Amino acid sequence: MAERPAPLDRPEFERASVGKASTADVARPLSMAEQLANVDPVRKFTVLLGAIVVWELYTRLAKVPPLIFPTFQDTVVALWKGFTQYDLASQIWASMGILMAGYAIGIVIGAALSFIAVSSRFGSDVLGTLTSMLNPLPAVALLPLAMIWFGLGAKSLVFVLLHSIVWPVALNTHTGFMSVPEPLRMVGRNYGLRNIRYVAKLLVPAAFPSILAGLKLGWAFAWRTLIASELIFGAAAEGGGLGWFIFASRNEMDIPGAFAGLLTVILIGFLVENVIFRNVEQRTVVRWGMQS
Amino acid sequence: MSAALERSRLEPVPRPEIERAPLDASRIGQIERPLSAAERLWNVQIVRNLSVLVMFVAAWEAYTRIAGVPALLFPTFTDTCVAIVEAFDDHRMLSKISFTLSSLLTGYAVGLLAAAVLVSLASIWRVWADILTTATAMFNPLPSIALLPLAMLWFGLGTFSLVFILIHAVLWAVALNTYVGFQGVSQTQRMVGWNYGLRGVIFAVKILIPAALATVLSGMKIGWAFAWRTLIGAELIFGATARGGGLGWHIFEHSELLNTSQVFAGLFIIIVIGVLVEYAIFRTLELRTVRRWGMQR
């Protein structure tokens, strides 16, 4: 071990006051505009307004023919006309009624399948094989078959919707159930929970983030399938609904009408995804601290 | 130790010593029994899955044969198998598959690229972040197939309209998930990156993407699922309004001709492609990345 050098003696010293810092404006209150720009909804609305202004200006200044790309104003007028003259409200009602029916039945079937799967290993195998085969099959592809089996009515639409909802819901619910940690399961068994009560009181709340993800995915697939099948129905027969409205408007070269239909589709999708599902999330998984 | 506690203790009671003789083990019977060959076979996952599959096929064949379902409504399994072979021989199935897959791949690749550009812009400037979130909130719930009638008007009946709606199907789902994933990368990991002097693209590639890969991958999977569904739907509509090629058209064409066994053959091939992409490609990707890194079970 080398010898340590002795510590140096430094002279004591005292500093005079450094004086006030010359940097101005250490903390400055934000201006009104800056404060506004920090509010999220304000910025988003500005973006939306900007997009609309650009759309209107582009179509007006570049004189895009309305048959190719109508102005925003035309679209709004067409939307108004759709509601007042072309019965758009009842078309929406027709679409949503079928969607709701399919969604409700689909959830029941999905829940039943996952209950069977969670109660025995063989059931789990059956569900696993079925979902891995049928989940990647686009539901619309079954539409021609459904039309042969059930005719051109609402029945074949519901059948196709069922197919698009059941598999994602069942798959996500089952994976959710499988990944419930063992301690939680043991707590449930300790309380003497069995069968339905075990599933309802323990597995469902514990796997809720995954179940909700399945429900959202099922909705997304169902919504897409519904619009697609209505477009095909529109092509193959005189159907009804939003997709048909878009298709019919386009066929009559009423392009503002088609844009109005698209706008309605966007609005409904936005409402369901960002209002309904967001609310359910806030009240369940976010509140329970399972998801931020 | 207080005196009260000391007093409250009882004197230990002396108990007699005991000695137990070992129990007769033969009374208990079989403690450990080797599983029979059948039981061991039944414990293999693949065997169980295959037997489920065989059961379904048997039930299908038995139902269609015994109930005498007309082949126009529900062909037998053997008919479907024959139809699959026929499809490759007589109906140029290979060229249909390659038509479908090539437009799918083009749309998917361009969509991924566009999403990457948008997300990069959004992580640099706040204005772009606002544009991205507003656009995804609006366009993600819009089924891209609803744009098909307009795309056909703008771009004609060719592959370009297909690719356009495929891009729309992929772009928003991927951009949304990637952006949310990037937002969720913890500050600690970001600071590690800054500490190493990583900036810009290198920062994204080396820190953000690996840290958010689980979300990015799930976005890519959802994007694929939407694109696949959109493509088949679009081909069905093309089949109704024009003479397009592809798998969806194969199904539509043969359902119009009431050639149901060919419809089943088309569905079967669609299932096979879907299963291959989901399990061979995405599952492998997951196993090699997020599962191996312990980010997802």
Radius of gyration of chain B (CA): 31
- The rounded distance, in Å, linking the Cα atoms of B232 and A160 is 14
Q: How far apart are CA A223 and CA A241, in angstroms?
A: 12
| pLDDT per residue as tens digits for the range A243-289 | 888 888 888 888 888 888 888 999 998 899 888 998 998 898 888 88
Question: Within the 208-247 window of chain B, which residues sit less than 8 Å (CB to CB) from chain A?
Answer: 222, 225-226, 228-230, 232-233, 236-237, 240-241
With beta carbons under 8 A apart, name residues in chain A contacting B176: none
| Residue A1 to chain B, least CA–CA distance (Å) | 36
CB contact under 8 A, A225 and B233: yes
CA distances from B272 to B51, B106, B235 (A): 18, 20, 18
Residue B229 and residue A227 in contact, taking contact as beta carbons nearer than 8 Å: no
- Select the residue of B139, B153, B240 nearest A235 (Cβ to Cβ): B240
Q: Is there a contact between B137 and A270 if contact means CB atoms under 8 Å apart?
A: yes
Cβ B251–A250 below 8 Å, yes or no? no
CA A225 to chain centre: 14
Which residues of A fall within a CB distance of 8 Å from B139?
266
* Interface-testing mutation among A68, A95, A125, with chain B (most B C-beta atoms within 10 A): A125
B72, B127, B145, B254: which to substitute to probe chain A, counting the most A Cβ within 10 Å?
Answer: B145
What is the per-residue pLDDT for A29?
A: 83
Q: Is the dihedral of CA B210, B213, B214, B215 positive or negative?
A: positive
Surface of B (102-131) touching A: CB under 8 A: 126-127, 130-131
The CA distance from A11 to the nearest CA of chain B, in Å, is 38
| Chain A partners within 8 Å of B147 (Cβ) | 262
pTM: 0.82
How many whole angstroms separate alpha carbon B161 and alpha carbon A232? 17
Q: How near does any CA of chain B get to the CA of A4, in Å?
A: 35
Q: Which residues of chain B have pLDDT under 50?
A: 1
- Tell me the two tokens of residue B76: 């037998």
Give ipTM to 2 decimals.
0.80
Which regions in chain A score pLDDT beneath 50? none
Helices (H) and strands (E) in chain B, counts: 15, 0
Residues of A in contact with B259 (CB under 8 A): none
In this structure, which amino acid lies at residue B11? E
Residue A218: its pLDDT value, please?
A: 93
Give the nearest partner residue to A247 out of B126, B149, B222, using CB atoms. Answer: B149
- Measured CA to CA, the distance from residue A241 to residue B71 in angstroms comes to 32
Q: Least CA distance to A232: which residue of chain B?
A: B237
Among candidate residues B272, B161, B248, the one with its CA nearest the CA of residue A229: B248
Q: Which tokens belong to A47? A: 């973006």
Would you call A134 and B271 a contact, using CB atoms and an 8 Å cutoff? yes
User: d(Cα B59, Cα A134) in Å, to the nearest integer?
Assistant: 17
Q: Would you call B233 and A138 a contact, using CB atoms and an 8 Å cutoff?
A: yes
Q: Which of residues 160-219 of B touch A (CB under 8 A)?
A: none
- Minimal C-alpha gap between A21 and chain B (Å): 30
